[in-house]
């Protein structure tokens, strides 16, 4: 069996392999739970976007927050990516890969003074500004440094991304962005401030969006503003449509990267003003989500009345998506016994919360204790959101490349967890 969304996962020999490396071998050598990422998949995902933009000015940024491991950032940096950051910590990570700051856009609703100064001194491509108050703060700090800060206003286009409420960001009721109706006045204000240089416009309407319509609606709202701004003499250099393209976790059918870029490109390239603008994107999930899995081992099977539970050694502190927003992940046996019938289990972790589940009502053919399971589509918002809750050390991160494996973050030890505490 192979997984269409994850061609780097192969099960044809009866045992799952990540690229050419068998998962039981990884578990034996590095223990579980373990994050396993595919270099080939990361590179292929990147190429799918960049190839669709050949011949037009564009910058595909990787949204660091989806998976901030330095080795993963380095793969995208080498491929030519820009980066979308949301904190000073992410700025430091990105600069550590050697990427020039002029390929970095700085998003986020609560940029602190220290973060703004660090980004100004580094010389980022653009601040994606989310409020009038932030605009003025950036202006003041830039003036103090004798600089002009490149700014774009993050417009909230008030479109429904039709995604989970926790990951929808483009509705008026969300905390994100500047209301579409206020943007024009704020652009005029920005263009008069001495510490600012207006360079772009952006939006980001949510995450795990699997239809094209919300993106096109948002793009049309931005283009209206671009036209009005141009008529008032405010000329932009780039248009940033954010990220948010969904992936297949279960049976979703999002547009492919090529179809997504093709539709956006068609609209931009036929627009009298926008065809000259650099197109910027900020993809997170769609670049890394299906390039990673979480490898876990069965600890116990238990029955509470009617319900059967598979208690595994990964938990909500590792992968919080199911607990936080009912995120669905396929869970599969690493070495499925062919002649055993499947039964239904709730796959749960050891954490003391009823919300600590990874999958409900999953058909699994379990042999017994120590079976290995793979939780798929875990490359995005997995390790990045993991914690030490219940004093659980965070898991090891492994990067596979053909037949080779590299530890790109060692498993935390209990000693290292306690070290910083007095």
Ligand X SMILES: *Cc1c(COP(=O)(O)O)cnc(C)c1O
Footprint of ligand X (CB under 6 A): 63, 65-66, 84, 86, 107, 204, 207, 242-245, 282-286, 380
What does the buried/exposed string (b/e) look like for 314-330 if buried means 16 or more CB atoms within 10 Å of the residue's CB?
A: bbbbbbbbbbebebebb
Beta carbon of residue 410, minimum distance to ligand X (angstroms, whole number): 26
170 within 8 A of 213, measured Cβ to Cβ = no
Beta carbon of residue 289, minimum distance to ligand X (angstroms, whole number): 8
Q: What residues pair up with 301 in beta bridges, in sequence order?
A: 310
In this complex, which beta carbon is closest to ligand X, that of residue 109 or of residue 230?
A: 109
SS3 content of the chain, % helix, strand, coil (to 5): 35, 25, 40
Query: What is the rounded CA–CA span in Å between residue 150 and residue 238?
Result: 11
Query: What is the rounded CA–CA span in Å between residue 32 and residue 23?
Result: 11
DSSP character for 328? -
Residue 61 designated active-site: no
Q: Smallest Cα–Cα separation from 105: which of 193, 187, 201, 227?
A: 201
In this complex, which beta carbon is closest to ligand X, that of residue 86 or of residue 312?
A: 86
Beta carbon of residue 249, minimum distance to ligand X (angstroms, whole number): 13
Burial of residue 266, with CB atoms counted within 10 A of its CB: 0-12 exposed, 13-18 middle, 19 or more buried: exposed
- Work out whether strand 149-156 and strand 6-10 pair parallel, antiparallel, or are unpaired: unpaired
Beta carbon of residue 12, minimum distance to ligand X (angstroms, whole number): 31
In this complex, which beta carbon is closest to ligand X, that of residue 84 or of residue 371?
A: 84
Ranked by CB distance to ligand X, the top (closest) residue is 284
Beta carbon of residue 209, minimum distance to ligand X (angstroms, whole number): 8
In this complex, which beta carbon is closest to ligand X, that of residue 178 or of residue 310?
A: 178
203 within 8 A of 222, measured Cβ to Cβ = yes
In this complex, which beta carbon is closest to ligand X, that of residue 195 or of residue 244?
A: 244
Catalytic residue annotation: 352
């Amino acid at each position: 069996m192979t997984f269409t969304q994850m061609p780097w996962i192969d099960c044809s020999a009866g045992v799952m392999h990540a690229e050419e490396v068998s998962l039981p071998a990884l578990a034996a050598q590095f223990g579980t739970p373990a994050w396993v990422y595919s270099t080939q998949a990361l590179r292929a995902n990147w190429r799918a976007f960049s190839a669709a933009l050949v011949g037009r000015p564009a910058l595909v940024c990787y949204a660091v927050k989806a998976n901030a491991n330095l080795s993963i950032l380095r793969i995208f940096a080498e491929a030519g990516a820009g980066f979308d950051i949301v904190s000073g910590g992410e700025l430091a990570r990105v600069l550590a890969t050697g990427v020039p700051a002029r390929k970095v856009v700085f998003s986020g609703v609560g940029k602190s003074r220290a973060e703004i100064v660090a980004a100004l001194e580094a010389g980022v491509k653009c601040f994606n500004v989310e409020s009038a108050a932030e605009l003025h703060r950036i202006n003041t700090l830039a003036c103090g440094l004798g600089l002009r800060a490149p700014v774009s206003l993050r417009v909230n286009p008030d479109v429904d991304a039709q995604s989970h409420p926790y990951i929808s960001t483009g509705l008026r009721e969300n905390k994100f962005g500047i209301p579409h109706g206020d943007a024009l006045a704020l652009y005029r204000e920005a263009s008069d401030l001495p510490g600012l240089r207006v360079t772009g416009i952006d939006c980001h309407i949510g995450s795990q969006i699997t239809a094209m319509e919300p993106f096109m609606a948002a793009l049309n709202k931005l283009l209206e503003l671009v036209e009005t701004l141009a008529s008032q003499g405010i000329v932009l250099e780039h248009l940033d449509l954010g990220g948010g393209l969904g992936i297949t976790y279960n049976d979703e059918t999002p547009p492919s990267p090529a179809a997504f870029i093709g539709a956006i490109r068609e609209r931009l390239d036929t627009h009298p003003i926008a065809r000259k603008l650099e197109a910027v994107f900020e993809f997170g999930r769609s670049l890394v989500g299906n390039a990673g899995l979480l490898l876990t081992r069965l600890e116990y099977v238990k029955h509470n009345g009617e319900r059967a539970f598979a208690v595994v050694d990964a938990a909500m502190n590792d992968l919080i998506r199911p607990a936080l927003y009912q995120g669905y992940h396929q869970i599969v046996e690493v070495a499925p016994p062919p002649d055993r019938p499947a039964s239904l289990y709730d796959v749960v972790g050891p954490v003391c919360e009823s919300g600590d589940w990874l999958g409900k009502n999953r058909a699994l053919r379990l042999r017994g204790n120590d079976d290995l399971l793979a939780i798929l589509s875990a490359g995005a918002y997995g390790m990045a959101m993991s914690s030490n809750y219940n004093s659980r050390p965070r898991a090891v991160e492994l990067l596979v490349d053909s037949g080779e494996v590299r530890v790109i973050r060692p498993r935390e030890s209990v000693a290292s967890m306690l070290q910083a505490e007095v």
